[in-house]
Amino acid sequence: MRNTRRSLLAAMVAVGTVASVAACGGGSSSSASSGTSKTYTFWDPYPQFDASSDWGKRVTQCGTEAGVKLKRTGYDTTDLGNKALLAAQQGNAPDVMMVDNPVVSTLVEAGILNKTSDLGLDTSSIQKNIIGAGTLDGAAYGVPIGANTLALYYNKKILTAAHVDPASVKDWASLTAALEKVKAAGKKGITFSAIGTEEGSFQFLPWFWGAGGDLTKLNSAHGVAALSLWKQWVDKGYAPKDVLNNTQTTNWQEFATGDYAFSENGTWQLANAEKAGFPYGVVSIPGQNGGSAPVPTGGEFVTVPVQRDTSRYDVSKEIVTCLTSSKNLLASDTTLTYVAPTATVQSRQVKANPKLQPWVTAVAAARGRTSGGLGTKYPAISQPMWTAVQAALSGGKSPQAALDTAQTAAAKAKG
């Protein structure tokens, strides 16, 4: 049965995730409902960027080009989705909002977002797997500003000392053999994020999908194989026990010490990799039996929330176009270290920085977490999945028992 906005909010309140918009000072004011206001509100999931950052300047510039002042507020990803639901319920949603792609389906289900076709926004040049993450029933509800995904960074110095050729990493067996050699050489193997949040699910998915796993059947033999691989690495000391608490940021910080051979991380770490102080390379995450594992599509969609005053949409469309048009995508994606969602801009990015080529290839083959008809069912699957990963790696349950529990919980939540 289709959830209403009220029931979605009630569910979030029940788990204690909805916070007061006023408490954080980020909600749109009366400007969101006043057609005469020259101030428009813009929310994004980048609290790390202030007004003086390249991204902050980029947003301000788009407001100036649209003839308005753009008041930008950055929230943590989870916080942003919760605040969007609450703000819409209260009738003061921001004019333009960037949200993590799995959140789009939840906001659409709640009746918060406008279709891009209704706004006259063109998404025809965007790669289908990227726009698919924000498409429901054949309609797109936002424009992706770019995409990122996961691969394995490696420390060339450590692999050379351990006599490991990175080109030999073709499947799980060869990767595990490489980790064994690295440990025998006195170095640390691999670090990743298995934290009990969406970040943990995001990092587990390449292994889950790389084994042939299906998100509607978490406890299949394929899913158990993926979780058993991670558990084997932790138990044998190839991966540290603190992966249970690692975010993707702390995972990277471990790799940046120069002690780890591999880090599962994303496009957004490229600038940091250049500053790491040691030579590095990038290889695809391998599938269980070879080939590149499917990786999840990361990245945000620029959306236009529903407003009481529909006359505001024309300016909102100008802002979205400023950030996402072919003319401007290169500037937007450069500031965010994203792979562009169109082939034309991707070729320009690779020409400017050849090190982006493996990431462009990975993004082209990436999967949306809510794709395949999952939509708003995905969060009800993801949470039990990351809980299962935590249970297995901590030793609380076997991989099979942990995923059996996860499948039961997911089936119950989807109802």
**Which of 115, 150, 151, 144 lies closest to 130, judged by CA?**
144
Question: How would DSSP label each residue in 254-322?
Answer: HHHTT-EEEEEEEGGGHHHHHTSSS-EEEEPPBPTTSSBPP-B-B-EEEE-B--S-GGGHHHHHHHHHH
Q: How far apart are CA 20 and CA 23, in angstroms?
A: 5
Helix (H) or strand (E) run with residue 152 in it: strand 150-155
Q: Are 214 and 268 found together in one domain?
A: yes
Q: How far apart are CA 218 and CA 405, in angstroms?
A: 9
SS3 annotation, 15-34 = CCCCCCHHHHCCCCCHHHHC
Distances (CA, A) of 306 to 141, 232, 257: 11, 48, 46
Other C-beta atoms lying within 10 Å of the C-beta of residue 22:
11
Q: Does the residue 29 lie in any domain? A: yes
Q: Is the pLDDT of residue 30 over 60?
A: no
Mean pLDDT value across residues 122-135: 92
Q: Is the pLDDT of residue 79 over 90?
A: no
Q: Band of the pLDDT at 3, cuts 50, 70, 90?
A: very low
Q: How far apart are CA 146 and CA 271, in angstroms?
A: 17
Q: Does the residue 101 lie in any domain? A: yes
> Which of 7-11, 96-100, 241-245, 364-368 is least confident?
7-11
Mean pLDDT value across residues 119-127: 94
Other C-beta atoms lying within 10 Å of the C-beta of residue 169:
23
Looking up residue 337, the CATH number of its domain turns out to be: 3.40.190.10
Q: Band of the pLDDT at 78, cuts 50, 70, 90?
A: confident
Q: How far apart are CA 171 and CA 176, in angstroms?
A: 9
Instruction: State CA 54 to chain mean position distance.
Output: 21
Q: Does the residue 9 lie in any domain? A: no
Q: Band of the pLDDT at 22, cuts 50, 70, 90?
A: very low
Chain segment 103-116, per-residue pLDDT in tens: 898 899 889 999 99
Q: Does the residue 278 lie in any domain? A: yes
Q: Band of the pLDDT at 414, cuts 50, 70, 90?
A: low
pTM: 0.79
Structure tokens at 5: 């906005």
**Which of 165, 152, 174 lies closest to 251, judged by CA?**
152
pLDDT of residue 415: 60
Q: Are 291 and 303 found together in one domain?
A: no
Q: Are 327 and 180 found together in one domain?
A: no
Q: How many Å is the Cα radius of gyration of the chain?
A: 21
Q: Does the residue 369 lie in any domain? A: no
Q: Does the residue 4 lie in any domain? A: no
Q: Does the residue 2 lie in any domain? A: no
Q: Are 194 and 343 found together in one domain?
A: no
The answer to whether the CB of 304 falls within 8 A of the CB of 108 is: no
Q: Band of the pLDDT at 82, cuts 50, 70, 90?
A: confident
Question: How would DSSP label each residue in 37-57?
Answer: -SEEEEEES-TT--TTSHHHH
The whole-chain average pLDDT of the chain stands at 89
Q: How far apart are CA 194 and CA 132, in angstroms?
A: 26
pLDDT of residue 18: 32
Total number of domains in the chain? 2
Q: Band of the pLDDT at 25, cuts 50, 70, 90?
A: very low
What one-letter code names the amino acid at 399?
P
Q: Are 173 and 318 found together in one domain?
A: no
Q: Are 288 and 403 found together in one domain?
A: yes
Q: Are 169 and 232 found together in one domain?
A: yes
Looking only at the bridges linking them, the beta strands covering 280-283 and 188-191 are unpaired
Q: Is the pLDDT of residue 192 over 80?
A: yes
Chain segment 373-396, per-residue pLDDT in tens: 888 899 899 999 999 999 999 999
Better pLDDT: 5 or 162: 162
Q: How far apart are CA 412 and CA 296, in angstroms?
A: 25
Domain extent at residue 344: 17-147+299-364
Percent of the chain at pLDDT > 90 equals 73
Mean pLDDT value across residues 45-62: 93
Q: How far apart are CA 244 and CA 78, in angstroms?
A: 19
The answer to whether the CB of 220 falls within 8 A of the CB of 409 is: no
Q: How far apart are CA 145 and CA 369, in angstroms?
A: 17
Q: Does the residue 12 lie in any domain? A: no
Q: Are 105 and 220 found together in one domain?
A: no
Q: Are 139 and 229 found together in one domain?
A: no
Q: Is the pLDDT of residue 14 over 50?
A: no
Q: Are 285 and 342 found together in one domain?
A: no
Percent of the chain at pLDDT > 70 equals 91
Tokens 């540290």 sit on residue: 240
Q: Is the pLDDT of residue 205 over 60?
A: yes
Q: Are 290 and 170 found together in one domain?
A: yes
First to last CA, the chain: 9
Chain segment 275-299, per-residue pLDDT in tens: 999 999 999 999 999 999 999 998 9
Q: Is the pLDDT of residue 32 over 70?
A: no
Q: Are 160 and 290 found together in one domain?
A: yes
